Amino acid sequence: MSDNPLRDAIAEAIRDNKVILFMKGTPEQPMCGFSARAAGAVQATGVPFAAVDILPDPRIRQELTAISNWPTTPQLFVDGELVGGSDIVVEMLETGELHEVLGAEKPAEAPAVTSEADASGPAPLGIENRLG
């Protein structure tokens, strides 16, 4: 047991969750525009992720910053590595890098919903769709 259980708990959460976002508020109810954008970007990839609200205790942010050497929140970690804050995460979503880093299927060139998507897009993954 170290003398800093909170820092240990944060480090453990980063280690144990493949994708983890530290943010103000929750993905359902973000308390800051930057956190909302970062959460939205990760959600857009469809990859499940863990989220930690840093607001309940100011020490969470303190210890997180000490671990990550990153001054602001949100912070996205993948495979234990800091990927970035909201600007980087949003930029990576735009370039398709976020899908790559998260191991998600790349979106079609035009993410907007089009009726042609069925013809050219990847086949649905659900197995029931292949049995018909």
**Binding to another protein by residue 71, rule CB under 8 A?**
yes
Give the Cα-Cα-Cα angle 45, 108, 73 (nearest 5 degrees): 30
Task: Give the binding-site size for another protein (rule: CB under 8 A).
Answer: 14
Nearest approach in angstroms of CB 25 to another protein is: 15
**Binding to another protein by residue 77, rule CB under 8 A?**
no
**Binding to another protein by residue 100, rule CB under 8 A?**
no
> Which is nearer to another protein, 50 or 88 (by Cβ)?
88
> Which is nearer to another protein, 25 or 108 (by Cβ)?
25
**Binding to another protein by residue 73, rule CB under 8 A?**
yes
State which of residues 69, 115, 120, 129 lies at the interface with another protein (CB under 8 A): 69
Q: Binding residues for another protein, per CB under 8 A?
A: 34, 69-73, 82-85, 87-88, 91-92
